[in-house]
A and B are shown apart, each in its own frame.
Chain A
Amino acid sequence: MSAERAFSSVRVRSLAESQAVAVQVRLPGGSRMELTPGQASITGRMLAEGTHRRTWRQIAEESESLGMAISAFGGLETIGVSIDALARDWERALEWAAELVLESAFPQDRFEWLVEQNSAELQSMADQPEIKTGWEFLEQLYHPHPRSRPVQGTLEGLARLDREACDGFWRQSLSKGAVVTIAGGVGSEDRVQARAEALFGRRTRGHPDERVALPRGSDEAFREVSIAGADQAHFYAGHLTIPRADPDLPALQISSVILGSGSVLSGRIPQRVREREGLAYAATADAVAGAGLDPGRLVVYLGTAPESLQQAESCVRQEIDRLVSRGVSGREVEEARSYLIGREPFRRETAHQWAELLAAAELYGEPVDQPEWSRNRWLAASRDSVETAVRKHLHPSRLKITVGLPS
């Protein structure tokens, strides 16, 4: 049985010189809305496992014969399908996306295999010391919110899942509306828009049902994870900050670049910990990591020698303290702002990036696809507003720390 025709919103961007096309269909209802850990991940991935017209193998053979790359996914906020293809195949890609998202069949056999694969992937990820430690850190910060666990779920959750629960999750997600975005060398936007609306239905998108547990975090200020056979220690420090919709976001993004979220090593944390003191190879910091519908987080990550851990932690605490108590210089704000504005064209280079931006614009109700909108927000953030946002949202005394130590 096919699902009922979904509500949809369609956004198209024609890119004159592009030889590629990206089609994305996103349904609100990622892991933040799931009832069982892993439900969103499996549901999303099941979209490429068979429709009422094609088996998984036909989907694979026919799409690969066109060089199409299909990715069916279940993320934190949405599930859906992303197709990257050559521009000449835009219509086929759109038809495929519609078939996968609207006519998914959820075959039992494929469900069972996908659960097994997902479980194996989780176990594989747990072999990466920084990931294993990072999971504990998320739990420490976000408990009992779904972000406190891996988006892929947990072994226990996956073992409890059944096909019907995933089928139901898909139907529920579909009922909240589909966000369809198409970008690339597609020629006439009107023609593509019309074709997409014919496939997905021209209706107003519904509102996601909000029933998400609030993140509280655990009471522990320090957590230690044992990593068998490792050489390095993995250090995470931070706390929850603000969601994407918070008006302080642009100011906090500027402070984040000053702290170390830029694309190079010029932030205060990487400069101090890596470049000056030589304590780590990997040293990153972000004040709004993962900010979306739910709060993002301040997170500092270091991969360091176990014997350097104390010194590294002390550096991190001092730098965060310094940021909050002594503020930022005018030059730092200017350069961080210039960095953020300067990176905007790089978010619009490929068809895939455009499709993602258009989807974000629709899902968050923000015109992020228009460079001027972001630029003006950063230009409006003064040194004072950056310091105010830092004092309001960054709290050295509330830092939670997770350390992965070789056992």
Chain B
Amino acid sequence: MSLFVPPTIRTEQLSNGLQVCLVERRQAPVVATALCYRTGTLDEPPGQEGVAHFLEHMMFRGSHQFADGEVDRLTQALGGSNNADTSHDCTTYFFSFARDRWATALEIEADRMAGLLLEPAVIETERAIILEEVKMNQDDPWDALEEEVMAALYGDHPYGRPILGNPRSLITMNRSALREFQTKRYRPENAVLTIAGDVGPEAFDEAERFFAEIPRAEHASCRSLGQVEAIGNRRVERRQGGVARLLCAVPGPALREREYPAMRLLAAMLGAGRASRLHRVLVEELRSCAFVSVDTTETLGAGALLVAAEVIPDVQPERVERRLMEELAGASSGGFDEEELARAKSVLVADWVLGHEQAQAIALAIATAGALMDVGLPARHLEKIRSCSLAEVERVAARYLRPDNPRVIGWSLPEGGRN
């Protein structure tokens, strides 16, 4: 039995530039769609922070054929589910339905791509909802810490901005800003549609039926990745809750860079699973942390390696930070073995297989990859991860984890000074 079979992706492009991808999966009688626009926080004009995410909310609040509330009512009545996600680089809308009614998703997507209403009264209601969402994020110690660490890491670059925006920009957000952003960015040639599940090539006909009439933009909109200014070492410290939380961010390769798969492997060797290096040292040997996780951001521009740890009450946070820095410095000078590498490869391959059993997960992965780079990216990365040598991982570690490289160390410490 082979280790795993990567998904077969068929793609077609409509005359208006919309890229349509099909992944046939017959495991369950369901079909999922994901429509990913190449736009996000990165494209927000100054003073309109949060417009990409605000627009994402408004996409559920009324279009020509679907009045406010109808998208959700219809989705539920048909036994489906829907949601959306805004990131710095892209914005994705997704549905899942039983196989005999899935095309409703395309009908909704096409209608709101071309005929979004943006009713002023609804904008006011949605503003209040998003302001509550901002508060909810601030009340979560990890979300609040991440926001500050990213701001310190990326400075004035849009990657340093909170995706939700800030209360000041949200209060002044108006219909014309939303409309301008939508008109400019929500174009068929600026999007990738993936249909995954129990459906065949007729999916392309359905895409043609609903989207073909939507014209492409007269002038192509361009986007700039901007420049991330080199940072020095920075510290972020805040007080919230009763437990100490550490988030360390180290600049790393972007998704498109050749070193990215090796960086993923390095992250897994450091923090994926109980046998990984940082878990073994900080959790099992020192018993100073309840958990440690290591991850890479998946961004079009400057990437980062993120190490998160939650400290056991009564353990000194300084002790954890010191040991983490020693371990990262040690990792930068090698010392990994083939067994660690093989284990990390197994974990990442299995993670992919287990994490993409659902049609929705595969639709999202392919649409996002297509919008950011190309639809073959996940399979290429997996292949590269499987063939990566120890020397390649050690080169990446030496380049990015050197102790004299800049990094951001963020702490959320207990209120009242415990720990």
Residues of A in contact with B (beta carbons under 8 Å apart): 15-20, 56-57, 60-61, 64-69, 84-88, 113, 116-117, 119-121, 123-124, 126-129, 185, 227-232, 257, 262-266, 271, 274-282, 303-305, 334-336, 338-346, 348-352
Contact = CB atoms under 8 A, between A and B. Distances in A.
Given A67-B351, A86-B4, A262-B76, A17 B25 contact: yes
Interface in B37-58: none
B76 A120 contact: no
B243 A127 contact: yes
A228 B27 contact: no
Given A64-B343, A266-B69, A345-B28, A86 B82 contact: no
Q: Which of A18, A231, A274, A340 has most B Cβ within 10 Å?
A: A231
Contacts of B346: 64-67
B287 A60 contact: no
A342 B78 contact: yes
A175 B208 CA distance: 60
B128 interface: yes
Nearest to B345: A67
A119 B28 CA distance: 40
B240 interface: yes
A47 B171 CA distance: 52
B5 A19 contact: yes
Q: Bin the interface of chain B by size.
A: 35 or more
B156 to A, nearest CB: 26
Contact of A20 (B2, B97, B353): B353
A339 B138 CA distance: 34
Contact of A341 (B79, B135, B141, B353): B79
Given A84-B354, A305-B132, A345 B242 contact: no
B77 interface: yes
B98 interface: yes
A266 B353 contact: no
Nearest to A262: B76
Contacts of B287: 113, 116
A60 B275 contact: yes
A123 B243 contact: yes
B16 interface: no
A277 B274 contact: no
B125 A275 contact: yes
A345 B29 CA distance: 6
Contact of B310 (A124, A263, A266): A124
B274 A349 contact: no
Contacts of B80: 263, 342
Contacts of A20: 353-354, 357
Given A121-B290, A232-B132, A64 B4 contact: no
Contact of B79 (A68, A113, A338): A338
Nearest to B290: A120
B140 interface: yes
B75 interface: yes
Nearest to B357: A350
Contacts of A232: 132, 135-136, 139
Given A345-B29, A346-B96, A349-B28, 7 more contacts: A19-B4, A19-B357, A127-B241, A231-B135, A263-B75, A280-B129, A335-B77
A343 B135 CA distance: 32
B275 A120 contact: no
Contacts of B283: 117
Contacts of A16: 27
Contacts of A275: 68-69, 125
Contacts of A276: 125
B42 to A, nearest CB: 24
Contacts of B129: 274, 278, 280-281
Given A61-B343, A265-B72, A342-B98, A228 B243 contact: no
Contact of A129 (B68, B139, B273, B343): B139
B325 interface: no
B24 to A, nearest CB: 10
26 contacts: A16-B27, A19-B357, A60-B273, A64-B272, A65-B346, A68-B350, A69-B350, A117-B283, A124-B241, A124-B290, A127-B241, A185-B1, A228-B415, A232-B132, A232-B139, A264-B76, A264-B82, A265-B60, A279-B128, A303-B136, A304-B132, A335-B77, A342-B98, A349-B27, A349-B28, A349-B358
Contact of A67 (B27, B276, B349): B349
B124 A278 contact: yes
A346 B128 CA distance: 33
Nearest to B279: A60
B393 interface: no
Contacts of A340: 79
A18 B28 CA distance: 10
A85 B350 CA distance: 7
B130 interface: yes
Q: Which of A57, A282, A345 has most B Cβ within 10 Å?
A: A345
A277 B121 CA distance: 11
Interface string B393-404: 000000000000
Contact of A278 (B76, B78, B128, B348): B128
A120 B139 contact: no
Given A86-B3, A351-B357, A127 B141 contact: yes
A349 B359 contact: yes
B59 to A, nearest CB: 13
A352 to B, nearest CB: 8
Contacts of A345: 28-30, 98
A340 B71 CA distance: 17
Nearest to B274: A60
Interface string B62-98: 0000001101110111111110000000000000111
Nearest to B273: A64
Contacts of B113: none
A8 B224 CA distance: 61
A126 B240 CA distance: 11
Contact of B275 (A19, A61, A350): A61
A262 B2 CA distance: 39
A154 to B, nearest CB: 15
Interface string B283-307: 1100100100000000000000000
A304 B125 CA distance: 14
Interface in B201-238: none
B27 A15 contact: yes
Given A65-B346, A271-B69, A346 B136 contact: no
Q: Which of A17, A126, A257, A278 has most B Cβ within 10 Å?
A: A278
Contacts of A15: 27
Nearest to A351: B357
Nearest to A280: B132
Given A64-B346, A69-B354, A232-B136, A126 B81 contact: no
B274 A64 contact: yes
B243 A266 contact: no
A86 B357 contact: no
B133 interface: yes
B128 A128 contact: no
